[in-house]
Structure 1
Amino acid sequence: MKYEERPPFKVGIVGGGVAGATAALKMAGLGITTHLFEAKDSLVSGPPICHLHAGGNLYREISKSQCIALLEQSIDTIHAFPGTVNYRPTVIAIPASDPEKPEAILVRLKALRQHYHEMVMSNPQNEVLGNPGDYFKIYHKEDILRLVNRPLPQQPATADDWMTPVARFINHEQIKFPLFLVQEFGLSIFRLAATASMGLEASPNAHLHLNHRVVKLAESSSGWTIESHDKHGQRCQHQVDFLINACGFQTGTLDNIANRTRRRWVEYKAAYIAHWPSQQGVWPEVIVHGERGTPNGMAQFTPYPQGFIQLHGMTKDITLFEGGLVASDHHNAQPCLPDTFLDNIKHGWQWADTCSRTERAITHFSQWVPEFSTAEVGGKPLCGAQQIPGDDPALRAADVSFDGLRYARLEIVKASSALYATQQIIEHCKKQEWIEPQEGWQKPLLPLTNMLDNTTIIEKAKSIAKYRGYPEALAQPFPAPHD
């Protein structure tokens, strides 16, 4: 039967986080009838997101192949969500107390620079992280000392401009040289949420079912029946030809409903919002490497406008939690987090816990930037849980798995993997001749988002941040225009 003689192909997507929203945007933009079910009242409200992971440089424990995958996926993400990117670099440092040598980072950075160069040579449109020759810059101690007394730029335009505040305020005795400045950009979860919402609301092919909890699935040879309940308990049913499980850390819950089994981990994490009123200069992101899960775990300083900073500290007293990493078993595809963590995700934190963990994060980073000790608690934590498919809890680059012809899981660990994972599902559906290839279906573009106005995205993002109880500064571009 010709494509035009068939009934419209329908896809059901359960979960409206980064993965589900990206899949819906891509498929609806290709003209596919798409039903997106989200239990909450808005899209993309999951774990904290603050950067692209363009090369996996935040994680020294992951493989080179994962780093290359994250680089490629991040470039596609910039093409797809240009209005969500904060165009500022990242500085990577090694503490003086750490056994790692900076040369180990240099080997990885050179491999990533070479791969980025090859991508740009094959397609000039891939040059979204700047000139490949400038993918990273090395700063030896003499280079840092040269910048110490330089005026602090208010509109950074060069690598030296971005490195100047770091050179002036970082404790030179507590780090190893050289330092590295890398074209690893930021990613705004609130502008991503705004982009997804506006793009899908404008599409006649996208059907949003917010405040809908999927309670039952019935499989047939030709597809699935999805039964959901809205916030009033009203029962709804929809027939779809293909089902995508995009439930994030609750992917196993839908697997259970669908009678599927899958090994996975779930990790509960939190990031913290600090406010640094006395901050001088416009800062890059700063990563201080360290051994995960120890008191010397990695510290992460992610800047936003107006002196707001998002903080991670990969210790069990800050970002990681005792009992926060759990695995599934043979009887349950959903790893069981402690009720305390689930309650924090659903209802928020006690203010005392917010203050104590944020203050620990401030103290942790202040080891290397003593001036930062004057920072204060800036808001409630960004918390959530991260799924990690399979048996390796160190996995960071993951995308999709199929279970039968008409069921797929979007199992991304990092937001930048969402578009690649969606492309794999589209390839699968094309191979089965369920959908007809059309212009643009292989390109890392989202027709529903690329025409959106940046000013409108920012205003929508600010309203989402305010509604969720976060500072509006986290929704604004960085560096801000007035900087």
Structure 2
Amino acid sequence: MMKDGSYRIQDYILRDTIVSAIEGAKVAETGLPFKVGIVGGGVAGATAALKLAGLGVETLVFESSESLVSGPPICHLHAGGNLYREISEAQCIALLEQSIATVRAYPHSVNRRPTVIAIPTSDPGEPDAILHRLNVLTAHYREMLESDADNAVLGSPDEYFTLYSKEDMLRLACADLPDDPSSPDEWMVPVAKYMSLEQFKYPLVVVQEYGLSVFRLAATAALGLEGVPNCTLNLKHRVTHVEEAAQGWSITTHNPAGETHTHHVDFLINACGFRTGALDDLAQRPRERWVEYKAAYLAHWPSQPGIWPEVIVHGARGTPQGMAQLTPYPQGFIQLHGMTKDITLFDGGLVNAGQRSAQPMLPQCMIDKVDTGWEWEHVRVRTERAIGHFSQWLPAFENAEVGGIPLCGAQQIPGDDPSLRAADASFDGERYARIELVKASSALQATDRILAHCESKGWITLPDGWQKPSLALTASLHRDAIVEKAKEIATLRNYPEALAIPLPDRN
């Protein structure tokens, strides 16, 4: 709707899309609405709500925060998992598939710039170790395009990755900085000119792993679910009790006015993020899992030369030379990870569930950082460490300064393997499911598994094509509207607007 109360043609298209989708899904047997309760409105719960409500499923969302998707520091779309040398090829393929689906579902949340993978001379690893995996991923991406041309969201398979020798880098170091990089060579120019080329093993790799804006993703979810008749958003509602019934669950909530309400649903989705175990405990559903607290830091680099790709310098996790990650945003803002215990990782920050609870217990100081924020001195010290960590390979970056408060949070890791990076949904009984994301891109696959489960039980009938990644409730949203909403969300959360602004996007 426009400010004068009139509707644009796009508004009618969106409304028609929703109506068509809702009419496509019918409840089996009784004809009554099949009602799903989703506890948690992070990327998992919001994605599930968008998909379910867009297919006509009556959906109730319960989120304790005042807005959707306010969880951990999402910044990278793991289209192949090349940040993680230690994970299996099967996990990498799963992350590639999930990431492609995420780009198709949230196209305006993507920062389209490549990622550079570098191995320092001080690291025992060799580039050859990841080259085989890159070839496997390229072949799988090509197969995905052959089965569905709409999967071509990462460009041509022939350009999924590009290798650079030292001679290539010395040649690019003599090139002018491009104003609008589009080719792998152009993206590599600032890296060649300003990073310490003698400190790396060759070849370096440029891979089409993109960025993901948590603020534009949050904006997409908020705009997509506003005013949808079959989705009820219960923000600032704390779930205090759940109880299994004969054919469903009752959910008791407490709202800011001090009122207590009980809601009855046919199916319960636990999408509580790192607090998933707390709801498991309420539901008496034991589950083994880990939780890890992490933080990313914001630097401001006013003298930044050129437009940068993301740069990953591999290193052994938890050591002083742990992996370093430089994620660029507009206006010279940089998000930083350093996989050392003094930067992104924390002593006592990786914990598993005990015998008495499904919820791993983080130290209270980390919970306080998630819930109430950081003390300034801790912000300054850790951000400066992150800047110093990356400056050992990029000397000019030592002039960067603290750019804002950290993006922090915790991620759950289901099961007994803390190195797991690709997970989606698990079920406990017929009417209880968890969305157990380690990476945001797994949310759609998890939701599809839950929908398939519900259809297999005869509770709903889904229309043909329901498994396509597109989301009916967001398909007609305009990029400009998403960006403006994202800037508003970033400001409300005390982050720079730059984190909500897209990098160059030619698609």
| TM-score where L is the length of structure 1 | 0.98
SS at match of 2:335: strand
Which amino acid in 1 is paired with 2:92? C
Q: In the alignment, which residue of structure 2 is the partner of 1:240?
A: 265
SS at match of 1:417: helix
Which amino acid in 2 is paired with 1:185? Y
The structure 1 residue matched to 2:324, chosen from 296, 299, 324, is 299
Which amino acid in 1 is paired with 2:387? I
Matched, 1:11 2:36: yes
Q: In the alignment, which residue of structure 2 is the partner of 1:61?
A: 86
Q: In the alignment, which residue of structure 1 is the partner of 2:10?
A: none
The structure 2 residue matched to 1:372, chosen from 397, 407, 425, is 397
Per-residue CA deviation, residues 93-114 of structure 1 (Å, 9 max, x unaligned), is 0011000000111111111011
The structure 2 residue matched to 1:387, chosen from 406, 412, 420, is 412
Matched, 1:219 2:244: yes
Which amino acid in 2 is paired with 1:373? E
Residue 221 of structure 1: CA displacement?
1.9
Equivalences for 1:33-72 in 2 at 5 Å? 33-72=58-97
Residue 479 of structure 1: CA displacement?
3.0
Per-residue CA deviation, residues 64-106 of structure 1 (Å, 9 max, x unaligned), is 1000000000000011101100010000000110000001111
CA distance in 2, matches of 1:459, 1:439: 34
Q: In the alignment, which residue of structure 2 is the partner of 1:312?
A: 337
Q: In the alignment, which residue of structure 2 is the partner of 1:406?
A: 431
The structure 1 residue matched to 2:233, chosen from 193, 208, 221, is 208
- Structure 1 residues 148 and 240: CA distance shift in structure 2, 3 A: same
CA distance in 1, matches of 2:160, 2:436: 29
CA distance in 2, matches of 1:297, 1:257: 38
SS at match of 1:177: strand
CA distance in 2, matches of 1:232, 1:273: 36
Matched, 1:199 2:224: yes
Structure 1 unaligned residues grouped into runs of 5+: none
Q: In the alignment, which residue of structure 2 is the partner of 1:167?
A: 192
Q: In the alignment, which residue of structure 2 is the partner of 1:463?
A: 488
Q: In the alignment, which residue of structure 1 is the partner of 2:356?
A: 331
Per-residue CA deviation, residues 286-337 of structure 1 (Å, 9 max, x unaligned), is 0000000000100000000000000000000000000000000121110000
CA distance in 2, matches of 1:70, 1:203: 31
CA distance in 1, matches of 2:227, 2:111: 25
Q: In the alignment, which residue of structure 2 is the partner of 1:176?
A: 201
Residue 376 of structure 1: CA displacement?
0.3
Contact 1:291 1:297 in 2 (8 A): yes
CA distance in 1, matches of 2:93, 2:497: 33
Residue 202 of structure 1: CA displacement?
3.3
Contact 1:277 1:375 in 2 (8 A): yes
Q: In the alignment, which residue of structure 2 is the partner of 1:32?
A: 57
CA distance in 1, matches of 2:235, 2:250: 18
Residue 480 of structure 1: CA displacement?
7.7
Contact 2:27 2:460 in 1 (8 A): no
SS at match of 1:178: strand
Contact 1:305 1:480 in 2 (8 A): no
- Structure 1 residues 2 and 255: CA distance shift in structure 2, 3 A: closer
Residue 2 of structure 1: CA displacement?
7.7
The structure 1 residue matched to 2:388, chosen from 360, 363, 369, is 363
Number of residue-to-residue matches in the alignment: 481
Contact 1:305 1:479 in 2 (8 A): no
Residue 233 of structure 1: CA displacement?
1.7
Residue 258 of structure 1: CA displacement?
0.3
Residue 16 of structure 1: CA displacement?
0.3
Contact 2:27 2:461 in 1 (8 A): no
- Structure 1 residues 299 and 4: CA distance shift in structure 2, 3 A: same
CA distance in 2, matches of 1:3, 1:336: 41
Which amino acid in 2 is paired with 1:161? E
SS at match of 1:99: coil
Q: In the alignment, which residue of structure 1 is the partner of 2:303?
A: 278
Instruction: Give the CA RMSD over aligned residues.
Output: 1.1
Structure 2 unaligned residues grouped into runs of 5+: 1-25
CA distance in 1, matches of 2:191, 2:424: 35
Residue 465 of structure 1: CA displacement?
0.2
Q: In the alignment, which residue of structure 2 is the partner of 1:104?
A: 129
SS at match of 1:11: strand
Contact 2:322 2:338 in 1 (8 A): yes
SS at match of 1:129: coil
Matched, 1:446 2:481: no
CA distance in 1, matches of 2:147, 2:485: 36
